Structures are given as C-alpha cells and as structure tokens.
Structure 1
Amino acid sequence: MIYTVTFNPSIDYIVTVEDFKEGFVNRTSEELMFPGGKGINVSMVLSNLGFENTALGFLAGFTGDSVQGMLTANGVNADFIKVNEGITRINVKIRAQKESEINGMGPGIKQDDIDALYEKLDKIQDGDILVLAGSIPSVMPETMYSDIMEHLQGKDIKIVVDATKDLLVNVLKYKPFLIKPNNHELGEIYGVTLNTRDEVVPYAKKMQEAGARNVLISMAGEGAVLVSEDGQVYKSECPKGKVKNSVGAGDSMVAGFIAGYLESGEYKEALRKGLLTGSASAFSDNLATKQEVEELGKTFQL
C-alpha cells in the first residue's frame, strides 16, 4: 500500500479574473475547486494512474468534510484525523494579469491529534511506501518529519520526502528512499544558484552522501535530474507542451516516479514516468490522468 501524509490540506479555489483591479469589485470568468496539499496531490494522481493509496493527515469542519468527499469521489482512501478546533483552510488562487494567492491558516492541531496519526502510521507494513510532502503547520512541532521517520525505524518502508530546507536536511540521516527538491530549493540549502541540469548533479550527490538513497531534482521547463542509489545519473529535458497550470506538477512527478518504479523496478523508467506525469499536469487545468500520461509518452523517451 502507498500512504501519503498531508498535515495542512486545503480546498484550492482557483478563480480567473480577466482584468483584476485592486480596490474594486471583480467578477470571475472561470472557477475551479480542488482538494489541495502536496500529499493529497500525490494521492490524487496515483489514483488517476490506477494505484490504490491511502491519504493521511488532518481535516476539520465543513471544509474538511468537503475535502474528504472530493478525495473519496476520486478513488482515494481518505483516512484523516478529524480535528475539533477550526476548519480546513481555503486557499484562493487568483489568475489575472499577475497570479496571486491567499492561503488560509488551517485548524488547531493538538497533541491528541498527533498521537492519533501515529496510531495510523503504526499500521504501515513492511514493503509499503510512505510519502511525506509539504510544509508543517506552525501549531505542530517543526521536527515532525524526522520524528515520524525515527518512529518508523526498524520497518522496511520506502519513505519519500518532498519538503524544503531544514525539513529535508533533517531527514537525510534516516535514509529516505527518495527526496525531491527542485533546483531552487537545492541551491538554497547549499547557498548557490543552480540553473542547469549539469550544475545540480554535484549537489544532488551531496544529498545522497548525507543519506538519501535516491535524489530527484525537478527543474520545471529544464526537465529533471535523478541520482540513483545504483550509482547512475540520469539527466533529461521534459516533454514538449504548453504550460497551463504549474500547481501540482512537482507532486505529480513524485506520483509518476513511484508508479514508474512499481511498474518496472527501474529508476530510468521511474524518472521517465515522473517527467511524463509532472508535464501532463502542467499541460492541463487539472492533475494528470492516465490517458494524458500515456498519450504524452508516445512521443517521449529518455
């Protein structure tokens, strides 16, 4: 089984305003609504690709009920902790001359809620995959990712981490199966600017030397780099297409990588499936579907 954890899910309310004017009443020309959060995006795409998975995390209030319903309708097993205080946040994304975002706060997560999450994590079996993705709410310990990985030490679980800065660096000693920073996040960790695929390789290897088994660096239009645990370095451009929406593309890459690895057992194919899936999401208003990924794959090889 594949599990994902999203500590601070959301309803993403995406509105298009043709001529946005600050300080005036503006009307939308298009509206979209999705369940949001990096782990949730991974779960949604895995489900689209035909992989059963369970989404874990925290939900609250009527908005949490809405997220639960949307996930269930998409075939995701949504096994969230119901939090009593507050509501699941609503994130408003405005598409206009410039893109703007207003992100909500999220619910008040207590220690009892965290303890309940650990009870669910204890049910994960050897051979399962666990995806930890996204930021940690300010009401939770900053060490949550490393705490979870330490708690699960001793189990044969493939853990995937998609996080930034210290959240990512602090889990390396627990030897995650895969980490996926983008080139800007990787550069921020080491205090450098990384623009090309060749430039990211030595720093990806540093992450590997610090403990990560596989390091996948997403680079938007530049493609991606994979430094795999078998000593190989794979560098690839991304499929060609028109970008419509970059939200969720990195999460889709993670889902595609997992799917490709489970299907083939090969890291090169996992990278290819990751690139296809991330690109398919970027080329669509929604998250990638299996049909979109397969269609894109007809003309793309590493």
Structure 2
Amino acid sequence: MICTVTFNPSLDYIVSVEDFKLGLTNRTSSELMLPGGKGINVSTVLMNLGIENTALGFMAGFVGDEIVRKLEEMGVRSDFIRIPEGVSRINLKLKSIDGTEINGMGPEISAEKVQELMKKLDTLKEGDVLFLAGSIPSSMPDDMYEKIMARLDGKGVMIVVDATRDLLVNVLKYHPFLVKPNNHELGEIFGVELKNRQDVIPYGKKLQEKGARNVLISMAGEGAVLVAENGQVFEKPAPKGTLVNGVGAGDSMVAGFMAGWMEKQDHEYAFHMGISAGSASAFSENLATREEVQAVYEQVTEG
C-alpha cells in the first residue's frame, strides 16, 4: 500500500492577470483550478507514473467535495476524513505576479478526527510507503509527524518526509527512508548559507548522522544532490528547459524518486527519476505526465 497524507488540502485557483493594478478591478487572462497540497501533488505524480496510491487527509464543505471530485476525475484514489464544520481552503495563486499567493486557513481538525487518521495509518505494514509532506494546521499538535512515526516505528513502513526545520529534524530519530530539504531549508537547520552542490553534501551527511537514511536535496536551477544510505553521493545540474510553473516541482521530485526506487531499488536510477519528475513539472503548466518525465530522463542520463 502506498499512501500520502495532506492535512490541509486545498483547491488551488491559479490565475494570470495582465498589468495587475492594486485597488482596481482586474480580470484574469488565464485560470486553472486544481486540487492542491504537497501530499496530493505526490499522489498525482505517482498516479501519472502508473503507481496506484491513496491520498489521505481531511476535507470539509463544498470545497472539500470539489477536491475529491477533481481527484476522482484525474484518477487519483482518495480516502479523506470529512470534517463536519468549516470548509477546506481555497488558495489563490497569481501566476503572473512573481508567484504571489494568498492561501486560505482550512477547517479546525479535532482530536477525534486525528485519531480517525491514526487508525487508517495503523493498517500500514512492512514494505508499505507513507509520504508525510507539508505544514501542519494550527488546530493540530505541532508534533504530529513525530506521533505518526512513533506509532509506526518498527513496522517496516518506508516513510518519506518533506517538511521544514523542526518538523523535519524532530523525526530523524525514527529513521525516515527519505527526506527532501532544499538547500535553503538545509542551510536554515544548520545556520549556514548553501549555494552550490558541493556545499550541501556535508550537511546532507549530518542529517544522516541524525537518523535519515537517504537525503535528497533540491536546489532549483543549481540541480540536486542525493546522499544515499549506502554511502554513495550523486549530484546533477538542473536539466535544460523553460520554467513554466514551479508549484509542485519539489513534490514531483519526491514522487519520481520513490517511483524509481520502487521499480529498481537502485539509488542512482531513483535519483535520476526524481530530477526528471521535478524538472518535468517545472517545465509544464500542470504536474508532470509519464511522457514528460521520460523526455527529461533521457536528457538527464545522456552521455
């Protein structure tokens, strides 16, 4: 079983506005509405790569209904827990104005609903994969990731964590299979500035010393680095292409890496798949399709 968790999913309203002016009525020149949230992005890319998975999390109100409907339309299986009050969030993303975003709050999630999620996660067993990605809503305990990983500790579940600062550092003692900070997030953890691929390697190893098994570091236009649990280190510059939409590129990298790992259990192949999926999404209006990932993969591995 392969599951993703999105605590606070959204309906992302992505618009372009030409010549935006504050205080005046502006009209969109393009618009797109997609289910959003880091776990949902991972689920979508996994599905695009032919890997069945289930998106878990919480949903509420008419927006929650639309998130589920759109996921079904896309072929992504979901098993969200319904929150009886409030409404799932709508995030407005102004694509043409330096990636400006206005993100909603989402519903309050009670302790009882958190326990419902825990019971779903209790069914995971050895060899299953769980993705924990993104921030934790203010209505939930801020050690939620720790609680989940402590509960699953020793069951042989491969857990992937894509989170920042304390959320990430505090779960390393449970030996997540994969963590994916970017170079800025990695630098924040250790109080340093990391600009190039060689800079990040010793700090990726420090995360391993704290318990991470594999550390995948994304670096936008600089490329990516993998510090693998078998001692190997892989690094690649960013593939050539035109940045169209950076939203979800990091989530796509995580999905691509795990898709590659599940296929061949080979670190280098998984790393190349991760870079290819992340870049393919960045070069596309939407999250990457299998064909788009394959096209970038051929560029990543040529020569």
Q: Same fold (TM over 0.5)?
A: yes
Residue 264 (str. 1) matches residue 255 (str. 2): no
1:19 match: secondary structure: coil
2:31 match: secondary structure: strand
Match of residue 206 from structure 2: 206
AA in 2 matched with 1:59: M
Instruction: Answer whether contact 1:85 1:109 (CA < 8 A) is retained.
Output: no
Structure 1 segments unaligned to the other structure (5+ residues): none
1:139 match: secondary structure: coil
Match of residue 25 from structure 1: 25
Q: Per-residue displacement from partner, 1:237-290 (whole Å, max 9, x unpaired)?
A: 121100000000000000000011111110000000000000000000100000
Match of residue 106 from structure 1: 106
Match of residue 66 from structure 1: 66
Q: After TM superposition, list the pairs within 5 Å mapping 1:73-92 onto structure 2.
A: 73-92=73-92
Q: After TM superposition, list the pairs within 5 Å mapping 1:242-257 onto structure 2.
A: 242-257=242-257
Match of residue 228 from structure 2: 228
Shift of 1:75: 1.8
Q: After TM superposition, list the pairs within 5 Å mapping 1:90-239 onto structure 2.
A: 90-239=90-239
Shift of 1:300: 2.2
AA in 1 matched with 2:143: T
Shift of 1:228: 0.5
Shift of 1:297: 2.1
Instruction: Answer whether contact 1:19 1:96 (CA < 8 A) is retained.
Output: no
Shift of 1:97: 4.1
AA in 1 matched with 2:12: D
Query: TM-score of the superposition, structure 2-length normalised?
Result: 0.98
Shift of 1:135: 0.1
Q: Which stretch shows the higher mean deviation, 226-235 or 65-74?
A: 65-74
Aligned equivalents of 1:69 and 1:201: distance in 2?
Answer: 42
Structure 2 segments unaligned to the other structure (5+ residues): none
Query: TM-score of the superposition, structure 1-length normalised?
Result: 0.98
Instruction: Answer whether contact 1:184 1:193 (CA < 8 A) is retained.
Output: yes
1:90 match: secondary structure: strand
AA in 1 matched with 2:15: V
Aligned equivalents of 2:298 and 2:204: distance in 1?
Answer: 29
Q: Per-residue displacement from partner, 1:7-64 (whole Å, max 9, x unpaired)?
A: 0100010010011000000000000111000000000000000000011110000000
Residue 300 (str. 1) matches residue 294 (str. 2): no
Q: Per-residue displacement from partner, 1:196-228 (whole Å, max 9, x unpaired)?
A: 000000000000000000000000111110000
Task: Note the aligned Cα RMSD (angstroms).
Answer: 0.9
The 3 A distance-change label for structure 1 pair 97 and 104 is closer
1:29 match: secondary structure: strand
Aligned equivalents of 1:75 and 1:267: distance in 2?
Answer: 29
Aligned equivalents of 1:82 and 1:108: distance in 2?
Answer: 11
The 3 A distance-change label for structure 1 pair 122 and 251 is same
Aligned equivalents of 1:300 and 1:185: distance in 2?
Answer: 25
Alignment length (residue pairs): 302
Aligned equivalents of 2:148 and 2:99: distance in 1?
Answer: 35
